[in-house]
């Protein structure tokens, strides 16, 4: 009898099932109310006393083996999300999960970085809390220079002045102070201005600064670089440079790209002119080079600065700049991008 039970134990251990129904049949065979275990247990009273102990242990071993096998097989056919399930239902449809999307500001920023990195520009960064020297003085904006009024500044401390940078041009200064030419760098980052918040302006926004300093850099190099940029960024190669003024560049210019007037959107975006202003630029003023410890007789350079938010609003026809900082997921979800 004991040998017979031991044979069953071996059988139970070797058992496998291809379908849930087979597991159930197996369970009934051993553990069911009319199952084999029941039969063996009822034999117990007929077993001679000296064998009772071994007999009892063997039946219990069979019971345990059968229960464990049933549990194991049940789990493997389980279609619930039980993590212990070995196989699960492989034909079950996958569970959808939400994929995030990059913020439109990051999308535009990354695209700009990508375009300039292809022509040898690296990426540099500077602090958002700046001192007077890097944000103003070194950039040819001495203390009483009227151009300081062009920017409303958030001051953190007065005398000596500590402030939230009003433009990423401050990174130019830091980069030139710490690196020798040839310099080719772009500096993306957040900037702050004390402006009333409205659909068109915010007290913080984002810029990308560009700086190229080497021997013999000319205005033609600047124009060529910008044309390459607008072609890659917008698919538009027609640009114009309008004379302008920035204290840190001489000569200075404002860059317009010809967007066209083919669609109604073109009309709206360009206010009927076909031209879109995208950035300021110029040849780095020799005073700025000198302030940053670069020999202005040996080197020349160009610089440019553009607003990332503005470009994001234009490209995506976003009507209100505040939407960029509200973090409304219904808005953000619309910007799936590989950048």
Residue ranges in contact with ligand DAH by CB under 6 A: 167, 169, 209, 246, 249, 280-282, 303-305
Q: Which is nearer to ligand DAH, 257 or 303 (CB)?
A: 303
Q: How many CB atoms lie within 10 A of CB 51?
A: 12
Q: Confirm if 167 and 305 have CB atoms less than 8 A apart.
A: yes
Helix axes 20-31, 49-77, angle to 10 degrees: 160
- Nearest distance, CB of residue 146 and ligand DAH, angstroms: 15
Among all residues, whose Cβ is closest to ligand DAH?
Answer: 305
Q: How far is the CB of 128 from ligand DAH (least distance, A)?
A: 14
Structure tokens at 131: 């001192």
Q: Which is nearer to ligand DAH, 189 or 282 (CB)?
A: 282
183-192 vs 122-123, strand pairing mode = parallel
The distance of closest approach from Cβ of residue 97 to ligand DAH in the complex, given in angstroms and rounded to an integer, is: 41
Please check whether residue 255 is in contact with residue 226, taking contact to mean a CB–CB distance below 8 angstroms: yes
CB nearer to ligand DAH: give 99 or 196. 196
Which is nearer to ligand DAH, 104 or 247 (by Cβ)? 247
Smallest distance, ligand DAH to C-beta of residue 304, A: 5
Task: Determine the distance from the C-alpha atom of residue 289 to the mean position of all C-alpha atoms in its chain, rounded to a whole number.
Answer: 35
Half-sphere exposure of 139 (CA within 13 A, CB side): 25
Gyration radius of the chain's alpha carbons? 37
CB neighbour class for 16 (10 Å; exposed up to 12, middle 13-18, buried from 19): exposed
Our CB check for ligand DAH shows the closer of 31 and 241 to be 241
Q: Which is nearer to ligand DAH, 65 or 288 (CB)?
A: 288
């Amino acid at each position: 009898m004991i040998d017979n039970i031991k044979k069953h134990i071996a059988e139970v251990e070797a058992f496998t099932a291809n379908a849930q129904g087979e597991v159930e049949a197996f369970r009934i065979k051993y553990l069911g109310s009319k199952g084999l275990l029941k039969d063996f247990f009822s034999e117990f009273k007929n077993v001679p006393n000296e064998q009772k102990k071994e007999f009892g242990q063997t039946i219990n071993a069979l019971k345990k083996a059968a229960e464990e096998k049933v549990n194991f097989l049940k789990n493997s056919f389980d279609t619930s999300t039980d993590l212990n399930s070995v196989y699960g239902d492989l034909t079950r449809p996958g569970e959808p999960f939400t994929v995030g999307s990059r913020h439109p500001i990051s999308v535009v920023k990354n695209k700009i970085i990508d375009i300039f990195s292809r022509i040898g520009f690296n990426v540099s960064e500077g602090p958002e809390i700046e001192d007077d020297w890097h944000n103003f003085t070194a950039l040819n904006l001495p203390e009483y220079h009227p151009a300081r009024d062009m920017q409303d500044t958030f001051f953190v401390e007065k005398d000596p002045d500590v402030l939230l940078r009003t433009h990423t041009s401050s990174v130019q200064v830091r980069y030139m102070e710490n690196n020798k030419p040839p310099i080719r760098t772009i500096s993306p980052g957040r900037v702050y201005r004390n402006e009333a918040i409205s659909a068109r302006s915010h007290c913080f926004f984002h810029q990308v600064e560009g700086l190229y300093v080497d021997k013999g850099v000319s205005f033609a190099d600047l124009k060529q670089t910008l044309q390459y940029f607008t072609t890659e960024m917008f698919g538009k190669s027609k640009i114009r440079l309008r004379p302008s003024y920035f204290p840190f560049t001489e000569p200075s210019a404002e860059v317009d790209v010809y967007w066209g007037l083919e669609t109604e959107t073109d009309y709206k975006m360009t206010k009927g002119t076909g031209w879109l202003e995208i950035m300021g630029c110029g040849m780095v003023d020799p005073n700025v080079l000198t302030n940053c410890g670069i020999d202005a007789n040996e080197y020349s350079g160009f610089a440019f600065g553009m607003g990332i938010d503005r470009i994001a609003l234009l490209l995506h026809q976003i009507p209100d700049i505040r939407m960029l900082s509200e973090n409304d997921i219904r808005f953000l979800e619309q910007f799936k991008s590989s950048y």
